[in-house]
Amino acid sequence: MSMEVAGKGMPEPLLTKDGRVGVLLGMDAATLPGHLAVPSGQVRLVTVKALLPTELAYLLWSTASPAETS
C-alpha cells in the first residue's frame, strides 16, 4: 500500500514540490517480526518506507490507468 503524507519535519530530499512525502506501508522486513505480543494481545507491526520524490513519481506513473498516462 502506498500513500502521501504531510512532510512537515521530514528531510528536504524526501519532500515533493508540494511539501509531501510518499510512503510504502506494510512491506515485509526480514529482520523484524510481523507481530508483537503486548499485555492486551497481539499487535501487527507495519513498516513504513519513505520514498524519494522520483520514486513516488514512478510509483504514481506505473499504477495509473492508461487514460491517465496518455
Residue whose C-alpha cell is 507481530: 35
Q: Tens digits of per-residue pLDDT, 44-55?
A: 999 999 999 999
CA distance 19 to 51: 13
Work out the pLDDT band at 24, boundaries 50, 70, 90: very high
Structural domain boundaries of the chain?
2-65
- Report pLDDT for 9: 96
Work out the pLDDT band at 69, boundaries 50, 70, 90: low
Query: Residue 10, class by beta-carbon neighbours within 10 Å (0-12 exposed, 13-18 middle, 19+ buried)?
Result: middle
Work out the pLDDT band at 65, boundaries 50, 70, 90: confident
pLDDT(23) > 90: yes
The reported pTM is 0.76
Residue whose C-alpha cell is 520514498: 51
